Chain A
Amino acid sequence: MKQMTVSTTINGDVVEFLCEPDETLLDVLRNRLNLTGSKEGCGTGDCGACSVTLDGRLVCSCLVLGAEVNGREIGTIEGVADGDTLHPLQSKFLEHAALQCGICTPGILVAAKSLLERNPDPTETEVRYWLAGNLCRCTGYDKIIRAVLDTAAEMRGA
């Protein structure tokens, strides 16, 4: 297959890469750009571990072709912290012990950040439904939901 040249912006940085036409954005991030924070749990959009934003919209990077992102803006877990300052969600996840194994954590943080940008005051039900596409098998979700709600409260107060 003939490789394609793609130019895009990832976490604010201009990035160029080559990819095959059927290669997913997730494969590009992980295998070509060494951005392995986005995880592959299923490859079919059912687990959310590969969540990224594409032009500000939350998507599964396994359901996006690398070729599609030419000229687009991508946000990944690697861009969630601002330098050495963690995003409040990151701090709250640590404080609430909202992760056990940590494999779903990057996707959940990207998804939760996207939620709070749209809805700074979500209810518990809204958080649960927004994150329904992010599977976690360790925590039973309890501490994750608490961490997101607590972050929202803190960010509203700030």
Chain B
Amino acid sequence: MRYEAPSSIEGAVKLLAAEAGMARVLAGGTDLLVQLRSGRFEPDLIVDLKRIDGMHDIRKENGGYRIGAAVSGAELNEHAGLIALWPGVVEAAGLIGSTQVQGRATMSGNLCNASPAADSVPALIAAGALARIAGPEGERDVPVEEVPTGPGKTSLKKGEFVTSLFLPGRPPHSGDAYLRFIPRTEMDIAVVGSGVSLSLDDDGRVASARVALGAVAAQVLLVEEAAAAIIGTSLEAAALEKLAKAASAACRPIDDKRGTKEFRIKVAGVLTRRAALIAYERARAK
């Protein structure tokens, strides 16, 4: 195995594209090093992104924020502007692992690791985030939900990697929230995760909404029926009930060591209702 730490995006693309064997990108490394240790795979090349200019930056752009691929969860949670605009995304990223893991783990890595239980991904999808991908053909921007294609699988082609994520600007009276269910208070993989982002009209009714669920299917789900259940409402009890039902109905979970099907379906509804209420309060407060 070789370790390379290129100083430019082009250099990284070149290395990744030229590797005949298996190449892996190292951002935070909190998933990659665990996989290396387990012997699940033995890459021939590791390309560390952390020495590339801009990879550690959080930059304002068109009223939103561009977040470099090597920005850690801890850095996100120290950025007041980002927290003010996308509190749900930041809290989702902040739930990944311990304080120690937060010192390294990145949202781009969380996205590209392609776990259906990744905490930041439902929040990113609810937020309508875009991933910027660099590759031999140049750069392209894609909605984050198009990056993971199944457990451990992504749509990234050979030589490609995510260089940044873009969280768009948003209208006034907007809010988002992410909740996950874990049996402990910390250190667990989500059994269910729910991200809700919404904007209100001047009367306090939901004008637009996006709802995404994690750990309830092979991929994180964007649940349009759930969003539709609350659009035009002020989250009255009936709307919340409908929202919870729509969220539960969208789940296609499995039984595994972390939870049962029935549990995930039920709790997806509960969490989505709770997350929507938090997002709604945040939106109203602005």
Q: Do A and B bind each other?
A: yes
Q: Is the Cβ of A59 less than 8 Å from the Cβ of B100?
A: yes
Q: Is the Cβ of B98 less than 8 Å from the Cβ of A48?
A: yes
Contact (A51, B33) CB under 8 Å given A21-B3, A129-B186? no
Which residue of A24, A54, A63, A130 contacts B99 across the interface (Cβ within 8 Å)? A130
Which residue of B1, B3, B187 contacts A46 across the interface (Cβ within 8 Å)? B187
Query: Does residue A132 face the partner (Cβ distance < 8 Å to B)?
Result: yes
Query: Does residue B232 face the partner (Cβ distance < 8 Å to A)?
Result: no
Query: Does residue B246 face the partner (Cβ distance < 8 Å to A)?
Result: no
Query: Does residue A43 face the partner (Cβ distance < 8 Å to B)?
Result: yes
Instruction: Give the total of A residues in contact with B, Cβ under 8 Å.
Output: 34
Q: Is the Cβ of B97 less than 8 Å from the Cβ of A45?
A: yes
Q: Enumerate chain B residues within 8 angstroms of A10, measured Cβ to Cβ.
A: none
Q: Enumerate chain A residues within 8 angstroms of B185, measured Cβ to Cβ.
A: 129, 132
Query: Does residue A35 face the partner (Cβ distance < 8 Å to B)?
Result: no
Contact (A63, B2) CB under 8 Å given A46-B187, A133-B98? no
Write out, one digit per residue, whether chain B residues 34-61 have a CB within 8 A of any chain A CB (1) or not (0): 1011000000001010100000000000
Question: Residue of B at shortest CB range from A57?
Answer: B103
Contact (A133, B46) CB under 8 Å given A4-B3, A63-B34, A65-B3? no
Q: Enumerate chain B residues within 8 angstroms of A1, measured Cβ to Cβ.
A: 1
Q: Enumerate chain B residues within 8 angstroms of A60, measured Cβ to Cβ.
A: 98, 100-101, 104
Binding site for B on A (CB under 8 A): 1-2, 4, 20-22, 24, 43-46, 48, 51, 54, 57-60, 62-65, 67-68, 70, 111, 114-115, 129-134
Binding site for A on B (CB under 8 A): 1-3, 5, 26, 29-30, 33-34, 36-37, 46, 48, 50, 72, 74, 97-101, 103-104, 185-187
